[in-house]
Amino acid sequence: MNDKRNVYTFEDYKCSPDPVFTVEREFLEPCPAPIVVDNGSFQCRAGWASGVSQLDEPRLVFRSVAARSRGAARSDAHVGNDIPNLEPLRWTFKSAFDRNLVVNFDIQELIFDYVFMHLGISTQGHVDHPVVITEPPCNPLHCRQMMSELLFECYGVPRVAYGVDSLFSFYHNNVSDGAGLPSTGLVVSSGYHCSHVLPIINGRLDVLNCKRVNLGGGQAASYLQRLLQLKYPANQTAITLSRMEQLLHQHSYVALDYQHELEKWRSPNFYEREVHRVQLPFSGRAAGVCVSVEEKNERKTQQLRRLQEINSRRREEKLQEDQKRLETLLSVQELLEDGSLELFHRSLVELNMDSAEELQSYIHKLSMSVEQHRLMKAETAEVEQPAEDGSEMVPDLNQDNDEPGKTTSAIQPLFNKAEYHQLFVGTERLRVPEILFQPSLIGEEQMGLMETMQFVLEQYPPEQQEALVKNVFLTGGNLQYPGLKERVQRDLLAIRPFQSHFKVSVARRPALDAWFGACEWALMNPAEAQGWISRHDYEESGGEYLREHCASNIFIPMKLNKPSSATKQTLMGKCLTDTSFPDTTSNDKDMDISLV
């Protein structure tokens, strides 16, 4: 916020590399402290759970992406805050996530390498610390199996615990408020790719009635980018996704009544008062600065001199490269003249040449090129010598303005470029967050958050509905808009019966409470407690195995059902219709035996 007209500016933050921390004594004694990783699809947060309040904070917070150019080695990949500026490399980004599920475990391994290295742990041997890691609700068994395989086989961790990020946040806020572990509640979370409505019944997640909405902060930022690019087509390249994410979090709000709020924006006075002017970066002088003709001439002269210096430097570099190449080829030719045929043919292979004639042709071309560069250098030196002596005057670059009665020092005002590069963000402030409640605004045929919440509540009897709505909890990085809590309360009042009671609460730190909740869980549950998966459990029960706890998913193992009698009869009927099987009683009996 800068002046009277309420002009905002973008803070194009460039990431600085994270330091490499040292493992402190508190993390090793009396036993290795757990490492807590909130593995989000937008940001990854990692730190220690040591029991010391000053140290129990996420030490690493970075984007969950890796940038690697095509053909580059794996060691050349940049992860997280090692990427200084996101926009130039956005096309090379690779994420471990497909929506909210980890599917690319090569990138996930790079992220783990980054976390362990910057926490001060060498990954060459074993990571001797337990790991608590978050996963999405109803995580597929295959994804958990691959994650366990990566942690146990690649890093050799002693124990692993999995938990749902929004449930960690839910329990953290309730325990901090002194309410203890709640038995029933309704968790509404929204991240970068997806939003979830999660019912908690008797302290456990009811996975049968969990619902996901494929909308999050990423879709909101893309929608805002499209709106502003259509509104300001001349500034499309400056309206980047990173700036839209910043604009979304700092200037958007949720309207209590969407249609009524849009009507307010029709008023010119309301528009002038509430519109946010955001200044885009641009090249050129600031608005209102005048430039004289002499200054313009000086700039053009400097540009001309700079171009001459660049061309001269390039010619000199090219001459040096050609001379070095020519010396190499001449040394190879000397081998032929000295009779060292074996060394000569070996050198030809290294130079990717086939014969002595080809070598001679290259030598002739390089000799001509070097001689031509030397002649051009000599001519350039002769031309530049008079200019250095002051005998050559600077040409008048403004001959068209030399008219009688006009002075060359006339002041010419510039066009006000600053206002031309301003974004007037008006109704976009409320239209973009509204997609959480009305996905049809961006063409998505799915329910909004409140419709999904109503659908989930309808799956329970009235008594359980009353218990659920008395503890509605909002968490997630995409639920930090001003006015969101009031909007949920208003819509919940509309869908609930008359005189019903409900309570809506918001996480104190919606983006960080999942990490703090996982840290608290790790401190309250030592190695022998329920929830930790040991290496023995991994080897005996498989990578998809999960030890349940208060903030975890429900483990549903895969079972291969035996064919029923109806299935066997169907298969027998198909086999009997095949002409390759004779219609005999003995074959029918054999077929019946093989299906049992």
Confidence of residue 586 (pLDDT cuts 50, 70, 90): very low
Phi, psi at 505, each rounded to 5°: -130, 155
What is the band of 356 on the pLDDT scale with cuts at 50, 70, 90? confident
Phi, psi of 218 (to 5 degrees): -65, -45
- Mean pLDDT highest for which of 95-104, 379-388, 578-587? 95-104
In a domain, 534, yes or no: yes
Q: Which residue has the tokens 């961006």?
A: 442
Q: Are both 237 and 89 inside the same structural domain?
A: no
CATH number at residue 483: 3.90.640.10
Rounded distance between C-alpha atoms, residue 492 and residue 504, angstroms: 9
Residues 443-463 have a mean pLDDT of: 95
Q: In 282-421, at which residue ranges do the beta strands (DSSP E only) sit?
A: 290-292, 411-413
The beta strand positions in 367-421, using DSSP E, are 411-413
Residue 288 has pLDDT above 50, yes or no: no
Same domain, 69 and 100: yes
117 within domain boundaries? yes
CB atoms within 10 A of CB 336: 17
In whole angstroms, give the CA distance from residue 512 to residue 521.
Answer: 15
What does pLDDT average to over the chain?
Answer: 83
Looking at the fold, whether 492 and 523 belong to one and the same domain comes out as no
pLDDT at 353: 81
pTM given for the model: 0.72
Over pLDDT 70: what percentage of the chain?
82
Residue 363 in any domain: the answer is yes
Greater confidence, 398 or 477? 477
pLDDT tens figures, 523-532: 998 877 889 9
Mean predicted confidence (pLDDT) in 243-252: 93
Report which of 217, 222, 231, 199 is spatially closest to residue 468, judged by C-alpha positions.
199
Tens digits of per-residue pLDDT, 138-188?
999 999 999 999 999 999 999 999 999 999 999 998 876 666 666 799 999
Whether 417 maps to a domain, the answer reads: no
Q: Output the domain CATH number for residue 70.
A: 3.30.420.40
Q: Is 118 found in the same domain as 50?
A: yes
In a domain, 547, yes or no: no
Structural domain containing residue 144: 25-181+512-541
Distance CA 208, CA 590 (A): 42
Residue 285, CA distances (Å) to 57, 315, 415 in order? 44, 34, 10
Same domain, 496 and 445: yes
Indicate if 51 and 147 belong to the same structural domain: yes
Q: What pLDDT is attached to residue 403?
A: 47
Partners of 472 in beta bridges: 186, 504
What are the pLDDT digits (tens) for 50-75? 887 777 789 999 999 998 766 666 66
Between CA 78 and CA 88, with CA 83 as vertex, the angle to 5 degrees is 110
59 and 140 together in one domain? yes
3-state secondary structure 168-195: HHHHHHHHHCCCCCCCCEEEEEECCCCE
Q: Are 218 and 193 in contact (CB under 8 A)?
A: yes
Whether residues 465 and 517 share a domain: the answer is no
Same domain, 30 and 171: yes
Question: Which of the two residues, 386 and 141, has the higher pLDDT score?
Answer: 141
Asked if residue 175 and residue 41 are part of one domain, the reply reads: yes
Inside any domain, residue 64: yes
What would the mean pLDDT of 373-396 be, rounded to a whole number? 59
Asked if residue 113 and residue 172 are part of one domain, the reply reads yes
Domain end, chosen from 388, 412, 447, is at: 388
Count of domains forming the chain: 4
Instruction: Indicate the residue type of 295.
Output: E
Q: Is 396 a member of any domain? A: no
Query: 374 and 437 share a domain?
Result: no
Q: Is residue 121 part of a domain?
A: yes
Whether residue 219 contacts residue 192, with contact meaning beta carbons closer than 8 Å, is answered with: no
